[in-house]
Amino acid sequence: MLDKELRSMIGDVKGGRMDRRAFIQRLAAVGLTAPLANQILALGGVAMAEGAQTYKPTKRGGGGALKLLWWQGPTLLNPHFATGTKDQDGSRLFYEPLACWDPDGNMKLVLAAETPSVQNGLLAADGTSVTWKLKPGVKWHDGKPFSADDVVFTWEYTKDPATATVTAGTYRDLKVEKIDDLTVKITFPQPTPFWADAFVGAGAGQILPKHMFADYIGSKSRDAPANLSPVGTGPYKFVEFKPGDLIRGVINPDYHMANRPHFDSIEMKGGGDAVSAARAVIQTGEYDFGWNIQVEDDVLLRLEKGGKGRTIYAVGGDTEFIALNFTDPNTEVDGERSSMKTKHPLFSDPAVRKALSMLVDRDSIKKAIYGRAGRTTANFLNGPEKFVSKNTTWEFSIEKASKLLDDAGWKPGADGIREKDGKKLKLLYQTSINGPRQKTQAIVKQACQKAGIDVELKSVVASVFFSSDVANPDTYPKFYADLEMFQIPLSQPDPAQHMRRYHSRYIAAKENKWQGTNFPRWVNKDYDAAIDAADKEMDPVKRVAFYVKCNDLLWQDTVFIPAMHRLKVEAAANTLRPVISGWANETDNIFDWYREE
Amino acid sequence: MSQYVLRRLMIAVPSLLGISVVLFVVLALAPGDPFSELATNPNVPPEVQAALRAKFGLDDPIYLRYLHWLNAMLHGDWGFSFVSRMNVDTLILQRLPATLYVIGSAQILALLIAIPVGVYAATKPYSLFDQIANTLAFIGFSLPTFFTGLLFILIFSVTLDWLPFVYTTDIKGTGIRWVLEMIRQAIMPVAVLGLFQAASMTRFVRSAMLDVIRLDYVTTARAKGLGQAKVIVKHVMRNAMIPVVTLIALQMPAVFGGAIVTEQIFRIPGIGSLLISSILSNDTPVVMAVTFVFACLVVLFNLIADVLYGWLDPRISLR
């Protein structure tokens, strides 16, 4: 039904009977607004919209110095070696992708001249290739012209295993060829509904100059002088870099966008902690912008009173979740615990999983911990908006959970802990060391105790918990616990990568050195089928349906208990007008930032 | 004398080797790896992470990694940072000026306070001045620097808005303005560290002075009719300063090693903050280099202290 309606609406937009805004509003009405709404139109044969223009200054420069505070300072300036988003953020001041994402998840052109669509012939209708037209007349900071050769080179550079880039995953399966000086064609090995990963956004898309890196491809990559002194096409020219401490840049007078950038110079200072960064921006005004201000809301509200700055929020798809282990973490089989040959003794009863989801008090977690930076949710997939399921609900009720357990035969023992067939409801709940996470653990533990479930809390240093160290038992992929909590950032406005992780093909186990991404070790044939179908599906509406179904399956089986849909929190001076997208790095739209007089 | 120095240097070699083995093994056995942040980035497939680990040799056995490191160190190659992908020596040299400036000034401030106050307090033991100095010294070294640091920020930056609390390395302006800005932004960290050091040093100077001031030769000097100032400065201080000089020499490595807490609070890009951020990101080559250089400095300044001892007090002979 939805399918048909959408199709006729796309037809209306194409035929000019309905304008784009009305189309997006209609989609919102049926619960389908958002980032990929425009990709729907692109695939439906209507060109993708340029992101909304909010930029006001009418001349280049004149905005003075822009002072940014990144409490984890960038440690290197080659985006393809980035060990974290901080390095991508720093590199993005100088390097640019073909396009980036605006706050609504729309594509905004940077080095590309035209948004690919089926209608303009740049996007293959079967989704196997995309052609990008490049903006003419763009120059690198050293005056050399930017061309298709640089784009092709970036692909060659990143996909070479000897170069050891962290973006190899994006590029290794593609084929990129130069059509002419200002045209490149990307061919995918299979239909790729989300074609805007390579060369788009700050994460993997930043394009390197061939003339600076051509001699440093492969094992010589570490010797490239440009690793530390980037020559890009961006709004600011590189001046100075001290790893972990400082990046400085000055305005690029030949920048390819009119009237941009607004600031005459830029400075990114690193070090310290989030709270004092918030103080330096909001309270004393020493800095214009503070990155990733994950500070308790009480503190922020206090700082904002009569301060010189404010906090700003950007909605993306980051979900803090509690994952349930479907295998037994306490039995060792063939040298591994949580082996696929076992079943979790308690969670194999769906009632226990269901009861547990009723014991996570999301309202209290929001009130006590995340404040304005969180939204309660029943879904694992919380964005882009049109992929968010409306079929799910959540509630917090100790009584109902107790009743559910009673009915399932889990009766309280002498010590008040429920048991059945000699198995006690005792759980180990692990997460990384991080203030909000420990508080969430405490809230969940308290409710569980009241319902007769004994929860033991464990917290692991983040550098261990998230490491790929095969020898360490405390990493999240090993999951030697009953419950674990963290979040996996949704780094692009598309759920494909995010949802594919829980396909039964990718189970984390000893045989793949725990490199599998399905750490709950949950197996569901319907889910696998939906993922496989969605990966090939070019029809945007059916694709939405598949991912909504996947989310609902995760919810029905209680694989994840979503604790909070987290928003990005930044601090900005009152006069600064930053453009922050929940779908991109903080500096991805830096060319559109300005200061209101 | 030269024979003594030579012998001490020879002994230093095996002890430094031992230190390096211990450091290396501890770091290698510590859990975590430098690519942990990649693990939750869905853009980075696990195979890529595994390839990175292999490329940086993290999968080799420990003894092999140690021998590689030792060999490179002997050739003057300090290693290559996993996190910054640059040479460790450049990284350290970049951080050295800020540390030398801030920690060095703090040490000088400490001396400028500790010596006069300690000496004066010792000449009038249990007087009102001595009591006050003692009380302040006790408060000074009981308050940790992270506390005083935050207190200073709250008072001087937030409430009074006099001083910046974010240390910047690239101050705009030249000449006298640059100098003034440099001083202005260093006031708080230098005061925090300097006062802390001064507190314990004052107590040390005072007790060293008290030890000497009661000796017979001081009474003799006084009996000869020398003035109080001359007795204190020329006769008492000269001898009382011998242990103080040793103490200062042993503090010197800290000037190069930085102050982890204070540097973190004021965002001073020094060796201390480099060390802590490298530890947090498991950047072992940097941690190894910084701690090893620190160990070398400790050994070196111990030797210097011993040599100075002999020079200051000819009664001590070094063999």
Q: Do A462 and B36 touch (CB under 8 A)?
A: yes
Residue B99: the pLDDT is 87
Q: Do B39 and A75 touch (CB under 8 A)?
A: no
C-alpha dihedral, B89 to B85 to A220 to A84, nearest 10°: 180
Q: How far is A535 from chain B (nearest CA, A)?
A: 16
Q: What angle do CA A267, A268, A273 make, to 5 degrees?
A: 140
pLDDT in tens, A533-544: 998 888 888 888
User: Which of A248, A266, A466, A475 is best to mutate for the B interface (most B CBs within 10 A)?
Assistant: A466
Q: Give chain A positions within 8 Å (CB) of B169.
A: 242, 245-246
Backbone angles phi, psi at B197, to 5 degrees: -65, -45
Residues 269-308 of B with CB under 8 A from A: 269, 273-274, 277, 280-282
Q: Give chain A positions within 8 Å (CB) of B81.
A: 75, 243
pLDDT in tens, A94-104: 999 999 998 88
Q: Do A491 and B43 touch (CB under 8 A)?
A: yes
**A-chain residue closest to B38, CA distance:** A83
Residue A168: the pLDDT is 86
Q: Give chain A positions within 8 Å (CB) of B153.
A: 276, 279
Q: Do B165 and A75 touch (CB under 8 A)?
A: no
Q: Is the pLDDT confidence value at A33 over 50?
A: no
pLDDT in tens, A237-251: 999 998 888 999 999
Which are the contacts of A483, defined by CB distance < 8 A and separation ≥ 6?
Answer: A322, A323, A324, A325, A356, A427, A428, A429, A430, A455
pLDDT in tens, B188-239: 999 998 998 899 889 989 988 888 888 888 888 888 888 888 888 888 888 8
Q: Give chain A positions within 8 Å (CB) of B53.
A: 468
User: Which of B58, B159, B267, B273 is best to mutate for the A interface (most A CBs within 10 A)?
Assistant: B267
Residue A429: the pLDDT is 96
Mean pLDDT of B64-81: 86
pLDDT in tens, A168-214: 888 988 999 999 999 999 999 988 888 888 999 888 899 999 999 99
Q: Do A463 and B264 touch (CB under 8 A)?
A: no
* Residue predicted with more confidence, A60 or B241: A60
Q: How far is B33 from chain A (nearest CA, A)?
A: 6
Out of B42, B53, B269, name the one closest to residue A468 (CB): B53
User: Which residue type occupies A245?
Assistant: D
pTM confidence score: 0.83
Q: Is the pLDDT confidence value at B180 over 90?
A: no
Task: Confirm if A587 and A92 have CB atoms less than 8 A apart.
Answer: yes
Residue A44: the pLDDT is 54
* Residue predicted with more confidence, B154 or A94: A94
Give the span between the Cα atoms of B31 and A381, in whole angstroms: 32
Q: Is A464 helix (H, G, I), strand (E, B) or coil?
A: helix
pLDDT in tens, A454-497: 999 999 988 788 877 778 889 899 999 999 999 988 878 889 88
Backbone angles phi, psi at A173, to 5 degrees: -95, 0
According to DSSP, the β-strands at A265-270 and A65-70 are parallel
Mean pLDDT of B277-305: 86
Pinpoint the alpha helices (H) of chain B: 2-29, 36-39, 46-55, 62-74, 88-123, 128-142, 145-152, 175-213, 216-223, 228-230, 238-257, 260-266, 271-280, 284-312
Q: Do A244 and B277 touch (CB under 8 A)?
A: yes
Q: Do A463 and B32 touch (CB under 8 A)?
A: yes
Out of B33, B45, B82, name the one closest to residue A467 (CB): B33
Q: Do B37 and A461 touch (CB under 8 A)?
A: no
**Confidence band, pLDDT 50/70/90 cuts, at residue A1:** very low
pLDDT in tens, A317-360: 899 999 999 999 999 988 889 999 999 999 999 999 999 999 99
Pinpoint the alpha helices (H) of A291-424: 297-304, 350-358, 362-365, 398-407
Q: Is the pLDDT confidence value at A3 over 70?
A: no
Q: Do B32 and A476 touch (CB under 8 A)?
A: no
- Shortest CA distance to B126 belongs to which of B114, B115, B134? B134
User: Which of B37, B157, B162 is best to mutate for the A interface (most A CBs within 10 A)?
Assistant: B37
> Quick check: B189 contacting A, CB < 8 Å?
no
Q: How far is B282 from chain A (nearest CA, A)?
A: 8
Q: Give chain B positions within 8 Å (CB) of A487.
A: 40
> Quick check: B40 contacting A, CB < 8 Å?
yes
Lowest-pLDDT range of A182-186, A253-257, A353-357, B122-126: B122-126
**B-chain residue closest to A87, CA distance:** B84
User: Which of B35, B41, B81 is best to mutate for the A interface (most A CBs within 10 A)?
Assistant: B41
Residue A223: the pLDDT is 83
**Confidence band, pLDDT 50/70/90 cuts, at residue A5:** low
Q: How far is B21 from chain A (nearest CA, A)?
A: 21
Q: Is the pLDDT confidence value at B41 over 50?
A: yes
Q: Is the pLDDT confidence value at A434 over 90?
A: no
Q: Give chain A positions within 8 Å (CB) of B97.
A: none
Q: Do A467 and B86 touch (CB under 8 A)?
A: no
Q: Give chain B positions within 8 Å (CB) of A464.
A: 31-32, 36
Mean pLDDT of chain A: 88
Mean pLDDT of chain B: 85
Q: Is the pLDDT confidence value at A590 over 80?
A: yes
Residues 119-158 of B with CB under 8 A from A: 153, 157-158
Residues 50-79 of B with CB under 8 A from A: 50-53, 55
> Quick check: B159 contacting A, CB < 8 Å?
no
* Residue predicted with more confidence, B166 or A175: A175
**Confidence band, pLDDT 50/70/90 cuts, at residue B158:** confident
**B-chain residue closest to A228, CA distance:** B86
Q: How far is A418 from chain B (nearest CA, A)?
A: 35
Q: How far is B23 from chain A (nearest CA, A)?
A: 19
Lowest-pLDDT range of A29-43, A328-342, A546-560: A29-43
- Element spanning A436, H or E: helix A435-450
Q: Do B273 and A497 touch (CB under 8 A)?
A: no
Number of neighbouring beta carbons within 10 Å of residue B63? 12
Task: Confirm if A404 and A355 have CB atoms less than 8 A apart.
Answer: yes
Q: Do A279 and B158 touch (CB under 8 A)?
A: yes
Instruction: Give the A:B interface size as CB pairs under 8 Å.
Output: 174
CA–chain centroid gap for A66, Å, is 26
Give the span between the Cα atoms of A196 and A193, in whole angstroms: 9
**Confidence band, pLDDT 50/70/90 cuts, at residue A51:** low
Q: What angle do CA A120, A197, A209 make, to 5 degrees?
A: 90
- Shortest CA distance to A188 belongs to which of A119, A123, A133? A123
Q: How far is B52 from chain A (nearest CA, A)?
A: 6
Q: For residues A492-515, b (16+ Cβ closer than 10 Å) or e, as one string? A: bbbbbbbbbbbbbebbbbbeeebb
Q: Is the pLDDT confidence value at A395 over 60?
A: yes
- Shortest CA distance to B99 belongs to which of B246, B293, B279? B293
> Quick check: B97 contacting A, CB < 8 Å?
no
Q: How far is B76 from chain A (nearest CA, A)?
A: 17
pLDDT in tens, B5-14: 888 888 888 9
Query: How close are the terminal C-alpha atoms of chain B, in Å?
Result: 7
Residue A32: the pLDDT is 55
Pinpoint the alpha helices (H) of A333-397: 350-358, 362-365
Return the sign of the alpha-carbon dihedral for residues B86, B89, B94, B96: positive
Peptide bond between residue A261 and the one before it cis (omega within 30 degrees of 0): yes
* Residue predicted with more confidence, B219 or B257: B219
Mean pLDDT of B44-70: 80
